[in-house]
Amino acid sequence: MTEPLRIGVAGLGTVGASLVRLLAQNGNALAHRCGRPVRVVAVSARDKSRDRGIDLSGIEWFDDPVAMAKSANVECVVELMGGADGKAKDTVEAALAAGKSVVTANKALLAKHGNALAALAETTGAQLNFEAAVAGGIPAIKTMRESLAGNRVERVAGILNGTCNYILSRMELEGLPFEAVLADAQRLGYAEADPTFDVGGFDTAHKLAILASLAFGTAIDADAVYVEGIASIAPLDLRMADELGYRIKLLGVAERTATGIEQRVHPTMVPKTSAIAQVMGVTNAVSILAEPVGELTLVGPGAGGNATASSVLSDIGDIARGTRLPAYGVAARDLEATEQAPMQRHEGGYYIRLSVLDRPGAAASIATRMAERQISLESIVQRKPPQATGQKASGPVPVVLITYATTEAAIRDALDAVMADGHIAEPPQLIRIER
């Protein structure tokens, strides 16, 4: 009988516990498909006494995951602890240095150290797999690295954070402010007590950096990603987007341009008719534009124990089969330095919301500032300011401008001039449009 693949699991949180449970339930089917049994022989976590609802009898316990990674009884290490440094990094490095393959769901680790870890794996003959690090249960990594190996990827974009998509979906459907929906998301467990990593766009940026490496054969450079979060989005912006035929999504976008590779994360207005606009709630989506295949959109659960564990199982199955591929599709030494396109050179349409003071000449001044930068306006929408019943409207007037394609530099310069003129009551709201 073929010897089993002996794995050690570092981290028994939601995903780790789900993985152990699924292997116990579906181990025979996995062995049949891979031609080799898979057995959990060791685990490591912070609290041995915690009840995780899984049977750990007969499985060796390690208080130290690095010691587990070095154990002669472990052939493959599954790292599910999280974090860019510390024990997670030490455990993965120890395993790879010993020639043991690693499966990880740790996007922060890969975004910071992925290039060096891939090189280490190739040096020792180990495999580094990370399907679960991006978009949970969606097979985005395999699609990019394997299924599209014969294609030239021009653009990859996605809804890569379920927390943000849940918040924006509820704000749109229920007309609620950001703070109220965030509080609900925290209560339901969709958002952390400190939600900055998610709602600030940084989680999406880490995932986008990984996808960009696979798409363009470049070294991972998370610092090169332009990042904006969703905290500034107001219910009025979502209502206006709806009226204009759009939805607002937090997108991660990486694409080839004439000036280099653009990598950006920000709230984006997408046409309601597009596939990505239909993705609501905690669901994720990845859209890939490649030649010759065209555009592909993958949609599915982006988080959760079973969904993420499913992707981990897929990677384990590849190792059990003996499938060997460079972590990022090409050898680590052949990954090119990122030729970063400055965000100021980004070209596209823009949604601009201004709180305009009700005074003569204000509108004409704004239009003049736009014209001076050769910014053409597709539409101008003015809304009455809030007012009490029976009272005359007062206060700043919300004015929404939709521009034709222009540059980020031109828009920023025009808005600086508008603010300097003193005709608006607060900083402008600016949202990029993807058509």
Percent of the chain with pLDDT over 70: 97
Least confident of 13-17, 169-173, 196-200, 357-361: 357-361
**346-367: b or e for each residue (b if 16 or more CB lie within 10 Å)?**
bebbbbbbbbbeeeeebbebbe
- Tokens 């860019």, residue? 84
**CATH class of domain segment(s) 145-301:** alpha beta
pLDDT-based confidence at residue 393 (cuts at 50, 70, 90) = low
Q: Strand, coil or helix: what is 151?
A: coil
Residue 394: predicted pLDDT: 63
Q: Residue 235: is its pLDDT beyond 70?
A: yes
> In the predicted model, what is the mean pLDDT of the chain?
93
Going from the C-alpha of 428 to that of each of 79, 347, 356, the distances in angstroms are 44, 19, 10
Torsion of CA 407, 411, 416, 421, to 10 degrees: 140
Query: pLDDT per residue over 120-130, tens digit each?
Result: 999 999 999 99
CA end-to-end span of the chain, whole Å?
56
pLDDT-based confidence at residue 390 (cuts at 50, 70, 90) = low
CATH of 5-133, one of 3.40.50.720, 3.30.470.30, 1.10.10.60, 1.10.1660.10: 3.40.50.720
Residues sharing a CB contact under 8 Å with residue 217, sequence separation 6 or more, in sequence order: 328, 329, 330, 334, 335, 336
For residue 406, count other CB atoms closer than 10 A to its CB: 19
d(CA 87, CA 66): 7
Query: pLDDT per residue over 239-258, tens digit each?
Result: 999 999 999 999 999 999 88
Query: pLDDT per residue over 293-320, tens digit each?
Result: 999 999 999 888 899 999 999 999 999 9
Token pair belonging to 175: 């007309």
Q: What is the mean pLDDT of residues 61-81?
A: 97
Q: Strand, coil or helix: what is 90?
A: helix
d(CA 95, CA 68): 9
Alpha helices in 107-234 (DSSP H): 107-124, 140-142, 162-174, 178-188, 196-199, 202-216
d(CA 66, CA 92): 8
Token pair belonging to 163: 């927390």
**204 CB-contact burial (10 Å; exposed 0-12 / middle 13-18 / buried 19+):** buried
Q: Where are the beta strands (DSSP E) in 238-395?
A: 246-257, 260-271, 283-291, 294-301, 347-356, 377-382
Residue 374: predicted pLDDT: 95
pLDDT-based confidence at residue 266 (cuts at 50, 70, 90) = very high
Q: What is the mean pLDDT of residues 397-423?
A: 94
d(CA 16, CA 13): 5
pLDDT-based confidence at residue 343 (cuts at 50, 70, 90) = confident
- Tokens 């025009």, residue? 414
Query: pLDDT per residue over 35-47, tens digit each?
Result: 999 999 999 999 9
Query: pLDDT per residue over 99-115, tens digit each?
Result: 999 999 999 999 999 99
Q: Strand, coil or helix: what is 8?
A: strand
Q: Which of 87, 107, 207, 249 is catalytic?
A: 207
Residue 435: predicted pLDDT: 82
207 is catalytic: yes
Q: Residue 139: is its pLDDT beyond 80?
A: yes
Going from the C-alpha of 265 to that of each of 108, 159, 242, 251, 337, the distances in angstroms are 16, 10, 21, 6, 20
CB 164 within 8 A of CB 266: no
pLDDT-based confidence at residue 345 (cuts at 50, 70, 90) = confident
Q: Residue 386: is its pLDDT beyond 90?
A: no
Is domain 345-433 classified as CATH 3.40.50.10490? no
Domain ranges (residues) in the chain: 5-133, 145-301, 345-433
For residue 283, count other CB atoms closer than 10 A to its CB: 20
Residue 387: predicted pLDDT: 56
CB 133 within 8 A of CB 207: yes
Residue 252: predicted pLDDT: 98
Q: Residue 392: is its pLDDT beyond 80?
A: no
Same fold, 145-301 and 345-433: no
152-159 and 246-257 beta bridge pairing: antiparallel
